Amino acid sequence: MSLADHPSVEVLDDEQCLQILAEVPYGRLAVSVAGEPDILPINAVLADGRLYFATSEGGKLSSLVVNARVAYEADRIVGERAESVVVHGTARVLEDDAAIEAVQALPVVSWVPTPKTRYVEITPRETTGRRFRLSPSPA
């Protein structure tokens, strides 16, 4: 039996995935540079079907320029269930003033209060999600 066929696992539809992405502002961005994977914590906001986040100059931004194919994961635990959504897509650093102003108007919250002057848009190619009923492992 595959995990998706397990009675404690529910496959989420696109609408449920988008709702979770809209409600969970923190997640992890998976990138790969020169064949080396990395996972970075970010705060993102969903708007018009795309994810947006602010960042500063440095490794995260450089990795997106080298390889724009990314994955983003957001998880949450609600009562006795856990939900996980994964987005595979393409990231691009926003350069257009109008696009940057639009993102600055979104409720992007930072993990730490450091200056973040660059903005990134992730356009989803595929979104998947699961809801798990939490319970003790069988003996």
Model pLDDT for residues 2-14, shown as the tens digit of each residue: 555 566 899 999 9
15 located within any domain: yes
pLDDT in tens, 80-135: 999 999 999 999 999 999 999 999 999 987 777 788 888 999 999 999 999 999 87
137 located within any domain: no
Q: Determine the structural domain holding residue 60 and report its residue range.
A: 3-132
Residues written for the chain: 139
List the beta strands (DSSP E) in the chain.
Answer: 9-11, 26-33, 36-43, 45-47, 50-55, 69-78, 81-93, 118-133
Q: What's the pLDDT at 3?
A: 53
138 located within any domain: no
DSSP letter for 138, please: P
59 located within any domain: yes
18 located within any domain: yes
139 located within any domain: no
pLDDT in tens, 20-75: 999 999 999 999 877 889 898 999 999 999 999 998 877 666 777 778 899 999 99
Q: What's the pLDDT at 64?
A: 75
Calculated CA dihedral for residues 72, 130, 111, 117, nearest 10 degrees: 30
Q: What is the number of domains present in the chain?
A: 1
Q: What's the pLDDT at 8?
A: 82
109 located within any domain: yes
105 located within any domain: yes
Q: What's 24's domain CATH number?
A: 2.30.110.10
Runs of H (alpha helix) within 51-134: 59-66, 97-104
Residues 6+ apart with CB under 8 A from 59: none
Reported pTM: 0.87
Under the banding of pLDDT at 50, 70 and 90, the label for residue 139 is low
Phi, psi of 97 (to 5 degrees): -55, -40
Q: What's the pLDDT at 5?
A: 55
Count of beta carbons in the 10 Å neighbourhood of residue 11 = 13
